[in-house]
């Protein structure tokens, strides 16, 4: 009997966790690491909220995951794979774990990743105890990040581009009635200053006045972009924001017994390319394990 062979697309927590399980189950596993090996965690410095990851940086944690997957036989290819039809011809199954990228603004923020700039307040709020921080955004995610930061920061200011919030009424109430939160309406971030860390922000008020403010932390909460554009027209169903809809064909659930299966039998998906809500490394890793177990069960059924 030939040994089953699968491809895992993506090398973040979901992809590596899936690979650890499939390779230990003696399924021949090939990981296509993609153009951003390690995913979003490679842009994170200290790790405090991943079980067992205390004291590690993001890149170190991802390197350990990769080493663990390799130890059990997974082969890592440092290349992209963006032709699902071809993959399905070459492999018995495919696990999609391509993740998502936080939406950026292009005002020089990437220079300050882990140095006063973050796209995950839930992950990093504790590092800003007693500091003055700013959050960019006006939706539910921005409100959630703002509230997470009020538990630690001395001052939290929400920068809203419009003259109203996009968040739900219930979420709006959390900040509008909160004396710990300052809101700057019709305000746009146009620049960041600082030698080694974020020190000052350049703001444009009501499209006219330019103002410079001191800042010790900056958080973006303006959405994420799932890495699924390559799946358009492939048969894998995506929602209106581009996230993969697991177990759904034409709006009807079909994958009974295989919660991570996509609209294509033998193609499962996990991590931030599916999860639009939690977007944590630990939840992505858990989903990767679910996908691996579903894949193993499905291959056995064939």
Report the pLDDT averaged over residues 208-217.
94
Q: Is the pLDDT of residue 2 over 70?
A: no
pLDDT score of 76: 97
Report the pLDDT averaged over residues 13-25.
97
pLDDT score of 48: 80
Burial class (CB in 10 A: 0-12, 13-18, 19+), 65: buried
User: What region does 114 belong to: left with phi over 0, alpha with psi -120 to 50, or beta?
Assistant: left
CA-to-CA separations, 143 to 43, 78, 116, 180, 188, in angstroms, rounded: 23, 38, 19, 13, 17
Burial class (CB in 10 A: 0-12, 13-18, 19+), 184: middle
Tens digit of pLDDT for each residue in 161-187?
999 999 889 889 989 989 999 999 999
How far, in Å, CA of 243 to CA of 278, rounded?
A: 13
pTM score of the predicted model: 0.82
273 is catalytic: no
| Mean pLDDT for all residues in the chain | 92
140 is catalytic: no
pLDDT score of 208: 84
pLDDT score of 1: 46
For the chain, the structural domain boundaries read 5-102+224-301, 109-220
**Cβ-contact 93, 6 below 8 angstroms:** yes
Report the pLDDT averaged over residues 29-38.
88
How far, in Å, CA of 144 to CA of 159, rounded?
A: 14
Task: Please tell me if the domain spanning 5-102+224-301 has the same topology as the one spanning 109-220.
Answer: yes
Q: Which of 124, 272, 275, 294 is catalytic?
A: 124
* Strand 117-118 versus strand 252-253 pairing type: unpaired
Q: Is the pLDDT of residue 60 over 50?
A: yes
**Cβ-contact 17, 293 below 8 angstroms:** no
CA-to-CA separations, 217 to 20, 125, 202, 272, in angstroms, rounded: 36, 10, 13, 25
Please report where in the chains the tokens 């939706």 appear, as a residue.
Answer: 139
Tens digit of pLDDT for each residue in 86-115?
999 999 999 999 999 889 999 999 999 989
Q: Is the pLDDT of residue 128 over 60?
A: yes
Q: Which of 120, 145, 273, 275 is catalytic?
A: 120
Residue 32 phi, psi (nearest 5)? -95, 105
Q: Which of 123, 145, 272, 275 is catalytic?
A: 123
Q: Is the pLDDT of residue 3 over 80?
A: no
Overall fold of domain 5-102+224-301: FAD/NAD(P)-binding domain (3.50.50)
Overall fold of domain 109-220: FAD/NAD(P)-binding domain (3.50.50)
pLDDT band per the 50, 70, 90 thresholds, residue 45:
low
């Amino acid at each position: 009997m030939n040994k089953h062979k699968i491809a895992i697309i993506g090398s973040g927590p979901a992809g590596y966790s899936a690979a650890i399980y499939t390779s230990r189950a003696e399924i021949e596993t090939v990981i296509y690491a993609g153009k951003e090996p390690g995913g979003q965690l490679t842009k994170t410095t200290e790790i405090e909220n991943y079980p067992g990851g205390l004291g590690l940086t993001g890149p170190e944690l991802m390197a350990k995951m990769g080493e663990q997957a390799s130890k059990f036989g997974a082969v890592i290819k440092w290349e992209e794979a963006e032709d699902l039809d071809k993959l399905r011809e070459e492999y018995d199954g495919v696990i999609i774990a391509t993740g998502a990228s936080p939406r950026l603004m292009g005002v020089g923020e990437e220079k300050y990743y882990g140095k006063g700039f973050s796209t995950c307040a839930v992950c990093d709020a504790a590092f800003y105890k007693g500091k003055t921080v700013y959050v960019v955004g006006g939706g539910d995610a921005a409100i959630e990040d703002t509230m997470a930061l009020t538990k630690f920061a001395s001052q939290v200011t929400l920068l809203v581009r419009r003259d109203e919030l996009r968040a739900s009424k219930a979420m709006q109430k959390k900040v509008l009635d909160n004396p710990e939160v300052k809101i700057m309406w019709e305000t746009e971030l146009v620049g960041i200053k600082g030698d080694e860390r974020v020190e000052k922000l350049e703001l444009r008020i009501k499209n006219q006045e330019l103002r410079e403010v001191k800042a010790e932390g900056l958080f973006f909460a303006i959405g994420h972009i799932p890495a699924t554009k390559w799946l358009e027209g492939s048969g894998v169903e995506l929602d209106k924001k581009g996230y993969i809809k697991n177990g759904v064909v034409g709006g009807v659930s079909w994958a009974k017994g295989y919660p991570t299966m996509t609209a294509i039998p033998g193609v499962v998906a996990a991590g931030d390319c599916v999860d639009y809500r939690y977007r944590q490394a630990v939840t992505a890793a858990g989903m990767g394990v679910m996908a691996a177990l579903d894949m193993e069960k499905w291959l056995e059924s064939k």
